[in-house]
Amino acid sequence: MSWNKRIAIIVKLFFSIIVIVFFYWAITNNMLSHITNEATEFLALLKQHITIIFISGGLAVLIAVPLGILVTRPMFKKVDWLIVNMANLGQTIPSLAVLALAMGILGIGIKAAIVALFIYSLLPILQNTIAGLESVNKQTIDAAEGMGLTSLQILWKIELPHAAYSIMAGIRTALVINVGTAALAYLIGGGGLGVWIFTGIQMFDHTYLISGAVPVTVLAIAMDYLLKGVQMMVDPKGLRLARKIQHMEE
């Protein structure tokens, strides 16, 4: 067993113990009691939270993936940088500011929260889509073209399967970040589990804070695992093998 593996196991063990101790403490001190005592309220907030994430994330996927495909086509090669820069700029603005801006335009409520998170999710997906599509070997494309595949067939049969892993990684990053950022939706009246978190902060009531924060964390981890699974699924077997072999040669 290598040193790296040993350290990884020690770190995992350490954090598992912390998590177990934390839950033991939280449950024995009734820190998560609100979840069971106010179950309907909790479920409503959870539903709001998930709605914000999935609608904003879904819209971002629907816009960013086609946009990424479009800008990597030969005719748009020249404006590629412009679009990436614009999306980059969007990412440099703090999430709170994006929320505030969205509220300024759309008023308070869940809509503003969705729009803000949508804007915030665009970049990771767009960047990964472009990177994935551009990673396809030029000679592979040349061979496909030379054999008489149309550009659409090349996109569908070669480029997208190559980029799928990377695109899914972008979606995963965006959605996992969204789970956390959606907690800020409370600030502009968007609801979600942030309501309990901020209530807890304002009232110095740890039970509310923890009853809101723990589900958000669990949701983020669950989302990460779920999307990791999807990422593995969309990655063609042949490419997985290719990466493995490349890795071994290095």
Partner 1 sequence: MIQFKQVSKVYNDEVQALRGINLHVKEGEMAILIGPSGCGKTTLLRLVNQLETMTSGEIILHKENIKQIDKIKVRRQIGYVIQSNGLFPNMTIEKNVMIVPDLLGWDREKQKKRFHYLMELIGMNPDEYRRRYPHELSGGQQQRIGVARALAADPPIMLMDEPFGALDPIIRLRLQEEFLQIQREVRKTVLFVSHDMDEAVKMGDKIVLMRNGEMMQADTPAKILLHPKNHFVEEFVGEDRILKSLKLYTLRDLVKEVNLCSITDINDKPSINLDASLHHVFSMLLHQGYQQLAVVEQDKLLGMVDISVIEQFIRLEQQKLL
Residues of this chain that bind partner 1 (CB under 8 A):
137, 139-140, 142-150, 153, 157-158, 161-162, 236-239, 241-242, 245
Q: Shortest CA distance to 205 belongs to which of 3, 43, 86, 29?
A: 29
Q: Confirm if 216 and 180 have CB atoms less than 8 A apart.
A: yes
- Residue type at 88? N
Q: Within 10 Å of residue 69's Cβ, how many Cβ atoms? A: 18
Question: Least distance in Å: CB of 241 to partner 1?
Answer: 5
Judged by beta carbon, residue 125 or residue 144, the one nearer partner 1 is: 144
* Tokens, residue 62: 């629907």
> Toward partner 1, which CB reaches closer, 74 or 148?
148
CB of 150 to partner 1, least distance (A): 6
Q: Which residue has the tokens 């990791």?
A: 228
Signed CA dihedral, 161, 165, 167, 171: sign only: positive
CA–CA dist 31, 18 (Å, integer): 16
Q: Select 4 or 139, whichever has its Cβ closest to partner 1.
A: 139
Q: How far is the CB of 78 from partner 1 (least distance, A)?
A: 17
Task: State the nearest-atom distance from the C-beta of 60 to partner 1, in Å.
Answer: 26
Question: Could you tell me how far CA 139 lies from the centroid of its own chain?
Answer: 32
Q: How far apart are CB 167 and partner 1 at their closest, in Å?
A: 14
Q: Which amino acid is at 98?
A: V
For partner 1, the closer CB: 34 or 162? 162
- Of the candidates 202, 213, 209, the residue with the CA atom closest to the CA atom of residue 180: 213
Q: Which is nearer to partner 1, 40 or 146 (CB)?
A: 146
Nearer of residues 144 and 188 to partner 1, judged by Cβ: 144
How many C-beta atoms lie closer than 10 Å to residue 37's C-beta?
12
Residue 149 C-beta: closest distance to partner 1, Å: 7
Q: Residue 77 — left, alpha, or beta (φ > 0 → left; ψ -120 to 50 → alpha)?
A: alpha
